[in-house]
Structure 1
Amino acid sequence: MRHTRTAACSSALLLATAGLVAAPETAQAAPRTPAVGYVALGDSYSSGVGAGDYLPGRTDCKRSSRAYPSLWAAAHQTAAFAFPACNGARTNDVLTDQLAPLGPRTEMVTLTVGGSDAGFGTVMTTCALGGTTRCLSAVSRARSVMDGTLPRDLDRLYTAIGNRAPAAHVVVLGYPHLYQLKGTCRAGLEDAARAAINNAVDHLDTVIAKRAADHGFTFADVRSAFTGHEICSRIPWLHSVDLLSLTESYHPTAPGQSLGYLPALNRAS
């Protein structure tokens, strides 16, 4: 999920061997594909927007050392770890820009993707600034995308991942509810709008989980982990709207990554 915005491990190892040329004195093994055991794909929820401590490199991707892929790789001492997940990525961005590290020796792939496709960034901007009626209309349009083009786009991406990394255990992680209803918030969105947003997250997770299952991937549901830690809860693991750092609004904090996403990935891997 880009603003709502926003994918987590595999086992099975397949070694591609190359034949040798005929003459012994000139025999050479073909170059081997570099072993990238764990590849973390996806959008801002995988790159770690909102968690801070961003890594050098493409600053627009906002990849964090506190994001669940970094934490998992460190905990498992993963020597071959690729982290192409990037803020704002849609399914086609992952398909065209992030799959290069995948190969027959990849053991695990994680990703979150779909929130940006559904336009959750626009939804949250509309809801924060436009009032309840406009918010509900924006949510309805997002749900239409989830039922329209998103399943097809997920199929294309998941098929490409399976083809490029046939031995990998692929874990697709979902998105949490953003709001605790009747919570501590004294201003902002009405509960009707907050409920509609949460229901849209449920719908998005359902679509993603169905497509993941049809491709033999594991879906990791994070909603229960975030229960009691949504925006408007006493101890939120999600940023509310932040006018000083709009990009980080509606994204998991560092505890949201380490206590919400990482345990869900551990259970699924």
Structure 2
Amino acid sequence: MFRLVLLSCLISGIYSLVINPRADQLEWTALGDSYASGVGSTDYVDGRRCLRYNEAYPVQLNNDSELSAGDHIFNNVPCSGALAAEIAEWQLLDEKKDTGPSWQYGPRPAFGNPSFATLTAGGDDIDFPGIIFNCIIDVSLWFGGPTRRTCEDQRAHSWELLKSDDLVNNLDSLIQKIVEKGRNGPIGDKFKLYATGYPKFFSTETTECDNVTFARSANPVDDGKDHPRMTLQVRQDFNNMSDALNEAIRSAVGRNSDKGVTFIDIEKDNFGDDALKGHRYCEPGVKEPDTENPELYMWHYPYKEASDDAQTDPTVALLSGAYSQVVGQLNAQDILIKWPNTVDMQNAMYDAIDETKLQEKATSTTAGWDSIGFRARVFHPQVVYHRFIRDRIFAQYRQDNPPAPCTSEECCPSGCTCGSSGVPLCS
């Protein structure tokens, strides 16, 4: 009970906090990959292939009543599929870009002059999309094409990237560039950067999932073909990858901890407990893939709702045509040699898309770029998980910038009383 009361006070305090280290105007910037762009979480906003959605954790953070009140600037920059080097190249711009090269990335907001920034990066650097396509939905892309790697080969490839010194060095280089950019602004050395980690996706408490496949063509009706199975060994390996990636991010953050950079563990609550317990794939008693599981914090592929047929879905037809134009008669091995990283192959395909035709087809939430996000959201956070990430960032910011102690009931959060020590007491 004490912990619940304390947590209630903490959360209430968070939402009563005015995050405004600059006296004249609050400005902050969100950076990162699809985990920050919020791919698939409610409504598509902008960014074309960047797939920014309106319930991503940065948007939720910005929509808090204290942040949204008054004059402030929010630079929502994240882009789905962004490598660390691409974030450094395309998300630290001095001026907003709406046109020019790489139009498929849509509006690229400027970095601005933020007091603080958030960052999620590293997943694409270990070819996380390759894991999704080759080990989870088991196709090169959701509308077809040869599988680029076997799941076993994909796991070996991602482990090679995880163990390379390049991963930490690239993340470190990105963080240094962000900090330098932030400190050159009006806030100076008070600039803060919050770098989030990634979740472990699977429960490993049961063998019930050992014969389950998440393959697109095998769900909701099994096609009888051989697909990767979510065995205990495979699930544990994926979880170990998440741990290794988070360790790399921690290491890069640690090299810059004296510059106001903090790692945000999005698996732990404010007491250090496993916040995702019961909310992962393959939890005991869950018949996977359960797209209706109310306890799941990540998205399944929309097996029942999504039509992946180029004959019936206009967006899929355009994607399929762009894919054929880029790949031509190349076999799987040739494709792998030309585009070793899955994101590179996707980018080449997106470059070939006829934007005019795509927008002509964008007449509903199942057409255009949102149609891509509707499918690409697999293994990404649902809204409830974005909300949790938002709260973790708020908690850390509050720890770094504690609000003035309350002196009367007027400055206490709603439902709390002002204790003798100046801390709100909440029931």
Q: Give TM class, smaller chain.
A: 0.7 to 0.9
String of CA shifts for 1:160-179, please: whole Å, max 9, x gaps: 10110013210000001111
* Inter-partner Cα distance in structure 1 for 2:156 and 2:118: 29
String of CA shifts for 1:4-52, please: whole Å, max 9, x gaps: xxxxxx875499xxxxxxxxxxxxxxxxxxx671100000000101312
CA RMSD of aligned residues (A): 2.5
Tell me the secondary structure at the aligned position of residue 225 of structure 1.
coil
**Counterpart among 370, 374, 380 of residue 251 in structure 1:** 380
The 3 A distance-change label for structure 1 pair 61 and 211 is same
The 3 A distance-change label for structure 1 pair 242 and 172 is same
Conserved? CA contact 2:20–2:26, under 8 Å: no
The answer on 1:267 being equivalent to 2:387 is: no
The answer on 1:204 being equivalent to 2:193 is: no
The answer on 1:110 being equivalent to 2:118 is: yes
**Counterpart among 38, 42, 48 of residue 48 in structure 1:** 38
Shift of 1:115: 0.3
* Inter-partner Cα distance in structure 2 for 1:93 and 1:36: 27
Aligned residues: 237
**Counterpart among 65, 76, 81 of residue 83 in structure 1:** 76
**Counterpart among 110, 126, 130 of residue 122 in structure 1:** 130
* Inter-partner Cα distance in structure 2 for 1:65 and 1:168: 26
What is aligned with 2:212?
A: 187
Q: What is the one-letter code of the residue matched to 2:299?
A: H
Shift of 1:136: 3.9
String of CA shifts for 1:98-120, please: whole Å, max 9, x gaps: 112335x4211001010001101
What is aligned with 1:69?
A: 58
* Inter-partner Cα distance in structure 2 for 1:14 and 1:134: 55
Q: What is the one-letter code of the residue matched to 2:392?
A: A
* Bigger shift: residues 135-144 or 46-55: 135-144
What is aligned with 1:231?
A: 281
- Counterparts of 1:13-52 in structure 2 under 5 Å? 13=22, 37-52=27-42
* Inter-partner Cα distance in structure 1 for 2:44 and 2:90: 20
Q: What is the one-letter code of the residue matched to 2:52?
A: R
Shift of 1:134: 4.0
The answer on 1:147 being equivalent to 2:140 is: no
The 3 A distance-change label for structure 1 pair 238 and 268 is same
Structure having greater relative contact order (Cα 8 Å, sep ≥ 6): 1
The 3 A distance-change label for structure 1 pair 137 and 14 is farther
Tell me the secondary structure at the aligned position of residue 263 of structure 2.
strand
What TM-score do the two structures reach when normalised by structure 2?
0.51
Conserved? CA contact 1:240–1:249, under 8 Å: yes
The 3 A distance-change label for structure 1 pair 206 and 61 is same
* Inter-partner Cα distance in structure 1 for 2:376 and 2:76: 20
Q: What is the one-letter code of the residue matched to 1:135?
A: C
Conserved? CA contact 2:77–2:111, under 8 Å: no
Shift of 1:143: 2.2
The 3 A distance-change label for structure 1 pair 119 and 14 is farther
Conserved? CA contact 1:51–1:254, under 8 Å: yes
Tell me the secondary structure at the aligned position of residue 40 of structure 2.
coil
* Inter-partner Cα distance in structure 2 for 1:50 and 1:180: 23
Tell me the secondary structure at the aligned position of residue 250 of structure 2.
helix
Quote the sequence identity (%): 24
String of CA shifts for 1:130-169, please: whole Å, max 9, x gaps: 9xx9434422321221222211211221111011001321
4+ residue runs of structure 1 moved beyond 4 angstroms? 10-15, 183-186
